[in-house]
Amino acid sequence: MTDTDLDTRAGLPGELRFLLEQHPRGVWETHENLGGLMRFWLSRHDGFRTLGGTLERIIADFREERLEAGNLGALLAPRLQQFLGELHHHHMIEDHHYFPVFAAAEPRLAAGFDLLEGDHEVIHERIASLAQSANVLLRDLHGADADRVRRSADAYALESGRLVTGLMRHLEDEEDLIVPLVLERGEDDLGVG
């Protein structure tokens, strides 16, 4: 594991923070170059944070017996499907459109975009694992004994936690790399406005 590992890093490596130091988070909201696209993109990230937290609460409520098995599937399945589908679509747009544009605009950040693309690969492996564990859990809710359901819920919770924790780190680092670049150059000058 290195300082770029999604599970162990505490933020972007120092050499990728030069624009963030000039444009810290505290100035983003009022910066004149924070345009409509970046506001929308940040709102999508906030949506992933919110929905990820909701999914974590749902499985925690079930495991702590605040939610009955009969209600788990109805709460979990549509939210998980929305979360995973939107996350996949969001990453496709970033990987195939925005990251190449941003990396070309500021070559000193190319390693950061490689890092973020690597995160996407890890996250998508976790999406597949989470989807598999969710399918087992949802199947077991219909007819399996309580111990098996508990084991399935525990396995799902483990996969969910891995995905959501990694995603939260990734979202913050992605914002710390991209928003300062946009503030520095402007959406129109970057060709994304």
Summarize pLDDT for 78-106 with one digit per residue, the tens.
Answer: 999 999 999 999 999 999 999 999 999 99
**pLDDT tops 60 at residue 152:** yes
The pLDDT confidence band at residue 144, using thresholds 50, 70 and 90, is: confident
58 inside domain: yes
**Which residue, chain included where needed, has tokens 């979360």?**
83
- Is residue 1 one of the residues assigned to a domain? no
Q: What pLDDT score does 118 carry?
A: 95
CATH classification of the domain holding 54: 1.20.120
Each residue's pLDDT tens digit, 53-62: 999 999 999 9
User: Could you tell me the pTM of the whole model?
Assistant: 0.94
Q: Which domain holds residue 92?
A: 24-190
66, part of any domain: yes
Kindly write down the DSSP assignment for every residue of 85-114, as one continuous string.
Answer: HHHHHHHHHIIIIIHHHHHHH-GGGHHHHH
* Average pLDDT estimate for 119-133: 97
Q: How many domains does the chain have?
A: 1
